[in-house]
Amino acid sequence: MTSINNIKLPLEQVYRWEKAKADEIYLTQPMGNGVVQEYTWNRAVGEARRMASYLKSLDLPPKSNVGLLSKNCAHWIMADLAIWMAGHVSVPLYPTLNSDTVSYILDHSEAKVLFVGKLDDWDTMKPGVPDDMPCISFPLSPENDFPTWDNLVAENAPLQEDIVRDADELATLVYTSGSTGKPKGVMISFGSLGIAASGSSTAMEIHANDRMLSYLPLAHVFERFVVEQASIHSGFQVFFAEDLNTFVEDLRRARPTFFVSVPRLWSKFQLGVFKKMPPEKLERLLRIPFVSKIMKKKILTGLGLEHCRLAASGSAPLSEDIIAWYRDLGLEMLEGYGMSENFAYSHITLPGRSRVGYVGEPLPGVEQRISEIGEIEVKSPATMMGYYKDEQKTKESFTEDGFLLTGDKGEIDEEGRLKITGRIKEIFKTSKGKYVAPAPIENRIVSHNAVEMVCVAGAECPQPHALIQLSEEAMPKRNDPEFRKSLDESLSAVMAEVNNSVDPHEALQFMVVVKDVWGMDNDFLTPTMKIKRNIVEDVYKPHIDGWYASKQKIIWE
């Protein structure tokens, strides 16, 4: 692994491409109504230089924290570069936060300025922004009276010098999604950014001719790592999505060679294919050699993935059936594992070395081990400097010899591939005194095509139970008697299959099809779409006794 003393740091690479690829397209941004704006490396870095000049003119204290609140767009990356060029630290905020969390992060980070960009719900966030905070508006931002990016860029001369930040300097504060309390500010250095980009590009053979579509939140380390930092390191083109309604069109525009998504979208893509052709008929056609080749190419082309040599899924487990389905189409489906605390530079499934149910092997320079209690411990060269303003929490997060305590349980196979078997804190004890790990059970249930999310619970209950949220496609049919009857039968079969595969104390007593939609707006999910178990369990707690007393196997709330 490249040492921290000779890695290519982000700003150094930016200046390199500014000259070497001056007239080549770096960022492709849909502006709405069919208009697409393209930014060459020279223009993108040039606008960042001009914005850096403006930030320097504000005479902020050196290394001030500057907030960045926007959905993914070209200006997100340009603003990040400008903040660094001006000698400051970027503080991304998820574009789906409520005003209280916005207020907490801006206050805790002591942010001096805030970039406001492309947002769907600015009105609910705006009360969290102090009235006296200087703000800068991106071109795609909601209506506001802040100074605009375009005007400031036009009014300020570009920063002439090539400002380079040291490897051990703080580059960004990444606030965790807050699934267990207040978000924590993870301090990531420029060295960590450079190491993560270099190591992943080497491991996955990412190069300047690749193309990626950016739509998962750049405020999350995974997208920041594999899109922003990898593109800065390798010099490839990045496309952005306009919105969910144009997503397939955006994907077809990009024709990515490397595409990263989440289980929810991979499942939607599959269901979209099945709507056009029933799975039974498709399966028959795929068994005919000549027809199979044509069908596979047609499906991938329809999704905009015909040039995709690597595809990855993250944030939550992807069902084994869906992984197998995509791999059968010829799409190399990878999974990965990482945390905010190591800038997601931890594990990845490498082409040709995948094993279903495993998240891959350590990236270059990463060490792994399993503790006596079954916890995954990782030492990564991209590990955080610590938690902002919290030395005690930082100390508690590491072993004495410097391994990060992940909080995840896992197993390592004979070839060094890692399997996640649950969260240490999620394991609960039934009233019989037996411990249950919910994650493996949930992973079996979520593969059902009518199931969107699952939460297995049952602390201090005689047996575990499963709470199920229906998929977007299944929810409208919730009150259809025929649909209910059919789903009762298929869920009963799934439950029987699960119960036959686990120890008796882990067997589910019943499944509940809930009527709620678990989302970020009602606080069931974090900004990274992870279930807040404490919230889910608290909401349904009043019904638990009645459900256990009913003796039903499948219960409709």
**What CATH number does the domain containing 147 carry?**
3.40.50.980
pLDDT, mean of residues 461-468: 93
Pairing of strands 113-116, 135-137: parallel
Q: 185 lies in a domain?
A: yes
Residues 69, 111 share a domain: yes
Residues 474, 416 share a domain: no
pLDDT, mean of residues 370-380: 95
Task: For residue range 32-85, list pLDDT tens digits in order.
Answer: 888 999 999 999 999 999 999 999 999 999 999 999 999 999 999 999 999 999
Residues 392, 510 share a domain: no
Q: 256 lies in a domain?
A: no
Residue 189 has pLDDT above 90, yes or no: yes
Report which secondary-structure segment, H or E, holds 252.
helix 247-254
CB under 8 Å to 395, separation ≥6 — which residues? none
Number of domains in the chain: 3
| CB-based contact 366:192 (threshold 8 Å) | no
Residues 189, 302 share a domain: no
Task: For residue range 130-162, list pLDDT tens digits in order.
Answer: 999 999 999 999 999 999 999 999 999 999 999
Residues 286, 224 share a domain: no
pLDDT, mean of residues 322-342: 88
pTM value is 0.84
Residue 432 has pLDDT above 90, yes or no: no
CB under 8 Å to 360, separation ≥6 — which residues? 334, 335, 336, 337, 347, 348, 349, 350, 353, 354, 417, 418
pLDDT at 375: 94
**What CATH number does the domain containing 326 carry?**
3.40.50.12780
Residue 185 has pLDDT above 80, yes or no: yes
pLDDT, mean of residues 467-488: 90
Would you state the structure tokens that stand for residue 166, as one six-digit string?
Answer: 């040291």
Pairing of strands 367-370, 375-379: antiparallel
Q: 39 lies in a domain?
A: yes
> What 3-state DSSP class applies to 228?
helix
Report the percent of the chain where pLDDT is more than 90.
62
**Where a domain ends, among 396, 423, 450?**
423
Q: 1 lies in a domain?
A: no
Residues 165, 39 share a domain: yes
Q: Compute the distance between CA of residue 137 and CA of residue 496 in angstroms, rounded to an integer.
A: 55
Residues 226, 81 share a domain: yes
In 10 A of CB 418, how many CB atoms?
24
pLDDT at 460: 85
Would you state the structure tokens that stand for residue 527, as one six-digit string?
Answer: 């900004």
Residue 384 has pLDDT above 90, yes or no: yes
Name beta bridge partners: 370. 376
pLDDT, mean of residues 312-337: 81
Q: Compute the distance between CA of residue 335 and CA of residue 406 in angstroms, rounded to an integer.
A: 18
Residues 450, 403 share a domain: no
pLDDT at 126: 96
pLDDT at 507: 92
Which residue type, as a one-letter code, is found at position 366? V
Residues 235, 279 share a domain: no
pLDDT at 316: 67
Pairing of strands 35-40, 65-69: unpaired
Q: 436 lies in a domain?
A: yes
Q: Compute the distance between CA of residue 222 and CA of residue 229 in angstroms, rounded to an integer.
A: 10
Among 147-156, 348-357, 379-388, the range scoring the smallest mean pLDDT is 348-357
Directed axis angle between helix 263-276 and helix 320-329, to 10°? Answer: 60
pLDDT, mean of residues 200-219: 91
Range of the domain at 94: 10-239
pLDDT at 2: 42
Task: For residue range 498-532, list pLDDT tens digits in order.
Answer: 999 888 889 999 999 999 889 887 888 877 777 88
**Where a domain ends, among 423, 447, 462?**
423
Q: 248 lies in a domain?
A: no
- The secondary structure of 436-503 as a DSSP string is E-HHHHHHHHTTSTTEEEEEEE-TTSSS-EEEEEEPTTTGGGTT-HHHHHHHHHHHHHHHHHHHHHS-
Residue owning tokens 């969260």: 423
Q: 250 lies in a domain?
A: no
**Where a domain ends, among 239, 257, 291?**
239
Burial of 244 (0-12, 13-18, 19+ CB in 10 A): exposed
pLDDT, mean of residues 427-455: 85
pLDDT band at 401 (very low <50, low <70, confident <90, very high): very high
Residues 293, 155 share a domain: no
pLDDT, mean of residues 285-294: 87
Distances in whole angstroms, Cα of residue 308 to Cα of each of 147, 263, 290, 311, 526: 40, 17, 22, 7, 29
Residues 433, 419 share a domain: no
Residues 274, 218 share a domain: no
Q: 258 lies in a domain?
A: no
Would you state the structure tokens that stand for residue 279, as one six-digit string?
Answer: 């799975």
CB under 8 Å to 142, separation ≥6 — which residues? 116, 119, 122, 123
